[in-house]
Amino acid sequence: MSDPDAYIALISSLPGSERLFVAKQPPLSRLRLERRLTALTAEDARVLKALEHALNWGGYDMDVTDAQAIERCKEALQSTPQPTLRKILVERMDLRTAVAALRLRKQGGSPPSGVFGMGRWSRHIPENWGDPHFRLEGAMSWIKDAKQLLEAEDPLGLERLLLSVSHKQLKRHASRHYFDFEAVAIYVLKWNIFDRWAQSNAQDAAKRFEHLAQQAMADAADIDFEGAYA
């Protein structure tokens, strides 16, 4: 059981997250952030580690396969009891799957058979392969812009769009949590987004997106997300 006073003190010690996007670099270093996170209970620290392992933008380097990414998500879901944090995992996997489908189709890939990628739309996307946006405009208002940036071969613009979308998702969940573990976890995930934003550049983004485009994700495992929104 976490100490509410300790978590209130922890949240209060962190710079406001809205400052991060306007700064050239996060105002709080990773080392200083880690020192503050020592206030977490052992169980909460374990959950946060699994979340970061699955969702960190820097965690999907060129040697990380889609199968490994899926396994990370499975492990994180299995070890995350908090409904809000499970929703965040599912939303990020939805985003990754939709963008991977856009890349594959741009390369001339055929409609995948059965399940594609990860998340709630893994069957919906192959069934709507011929639609420009996989009939996901209602669920993903950003997908039109993502498609345009991909077709314009603007990997940095696309990466920053996805960072922005993920940030907005986190802000929505943060509005329901203030001084609990979920608030701490959301702050750390935001910090990772801002850190990635500060480090991003066109050359690195192009390399990452070209590598990801070459991965068909056709062998992606079928993750059971039932209960993630319970």
Q: What pLDDT does residue 135 have?
A: 97
Q: What pLDDT does residue 53 have?
A: 87
Q: What pLDDT does residue 171 have?
A: 92
Write the pLDDT tens digit of every residue in 52-78: 988 877 655 555 666 677 788 888 999
Q: What pLDDT does residue 161 have?
A: 92
Q: What pLDDT does residue 218 have?
A: 39
Q: Alpha-carbon distance 198 to 222, whole Å?
A: 34
Write the pLDDT tens digit of every residue in 78-94: 999 999 999 999 998 89
| pLDDT exceeds 60 at position 106 | yes
Average pLDDT of the chain? Answer: 82
Q: What pLDDT does residue 134 have?
A: 97
Answer for the pair 20, 174: CB distance below 8 angstroms, yes or no. no
| C-alpha distances out from residue 79 to 48, 89, 181, 194, Å | 10, 12, 15, 25
Q: What pLDDT does residue 109 have?
A: 82
Q: What pLDDT does residue 209 have?
A: 55
| pLDDT exceeds 90 at position 42 | yes
Write the pLDDT tens digit of every residue in 171-219: 999 999 999 999 999 999 999 888 888 777 655 655 655 555 454 443 4
**Count of CB atoms situated within 10 Å of the CB of 77:** 21
| pLDDT exceeds 80 at position 228 | no
Q: How far is CA 101 from the centre of its chain?
A: 16
Q: What pLDDT does residue 118 have?
A: 81
Between 102 and 21, the more confident residue is: 102
Task: Pull the structure tokens for residue 5.
Answer: 């006073």
Q: What pLDDT does residue 61 have?
A: 53
Q: What is the sign, positive or negative, of the torsion defined by CA atoms of 181, 89, 72, 156?
A: negative
| pLDDT exceeds 90 at position 221 | no
| pLDDT exceeds 90 at position 45 | yes
Between 19 and 138, the more confident residue is: 138
